[in-house]
A and B are shown apart, each in its own frame.
Chain A
Amino acid sequence: GESVGLHLPTLSVQEGDNSIINCAYSNSASDYFIWYKQESGKGPQFIIDIRSNMDKRQGQRVTVLLNKTVKHLSLQIAATQPGDSAVYFCAENIPGFQKLVFGTGTRLLVSP
């Protein structure tokens, strides 16, 4: 099948560990951010989002942190499971642009 990205950065973790995936975004004016998960052969799946007036948001087993000073976004996954293995990428909304801007992603590999 197709591969989203053979040369993506890869994070390898053991089952049960916490995972941190990072994203550097491009525009200091970006006001909304989204994390997506993409499994092989599937479309991107929404995980969690955050607005620029927040610096942290929590979901079920996931936390997104936003550092606007250094234009950095991170996704923390608690107690990582084999089913979390996928490519994760962030997207930012730049006001005035007619689209979301997507990063190229990080591959997460979870070993049992």
Chain B
Amino acid sequence: DAGITQSPRYKITETGRQVTLMCHQTWSHSYMFWYRQDLGHGLRLIYYSAAADITDKGEVPDGYVVSRSKTENFPLTLESATRSQTSVYFCASSDGQGRNQPQHFGDGTRLSIL
């Protein structure tokens, strides 16, 4: 039971670079989510997806792009990285959009932007 995996686990890049964080789940969950976790803010939703080819903005979407061509994958791209995007990024999936279904999380990508 592989669950949900994120890659890379750690990434260091420079401002202005494009970087893509990968997320893969083996449960065939319809919903997938991207969060960032920063000191003092808890988990903040960046983008989510209800199904393949359906995505929507969360609380902090600026500077990020997502796609979902396949149910199992939900990559997050920072088109031109900024230092404020240094954070820990978590991907999650669930069978429902919080409709009495828990979200299950990967172990995160720790992204540092210099």
Contacts and interface: CB of A to CB of B under 8 A. Distances in A.
B37 to A, nearest CB: 7
B83 to A, nearest CB: 15
A6 B39 contact: yes
A104 B56 contact: no
Interface in A17-58: 31-32, 34, 36, 41-46, 49, 51
A102 B37 CA distance: 11
Given A43-B90, A43-B105, A104-B42, A32 B100 contact: yes
- Chain A contact residues: helix, strand, loop or mixed: loop
Contacts of B40: 5, 7, 104
Contacts, number: 63
A3 B56 CA distance: 29
A100 B98 contact: yes
Nearest to A1: B110
A107 to B, nearest CB: 13
A89 interface: yes
Interface string B43-59: 10100100000001011
B114 to A, nearest CB: 16
A100 B105 CA distance: 13
Interface string A46-81: 100101000000000000000000000000000000
9 contacts: A31-B100, A41-B107, A42-B107, A44-B43, A49-B102, A93-B100, A98-B56, A99-B97, A105-B42
Interface of A: 1-7, 31-32, 34, 36, 41-46, 49, 51, 89, 91, 93, 98-100, 102-105
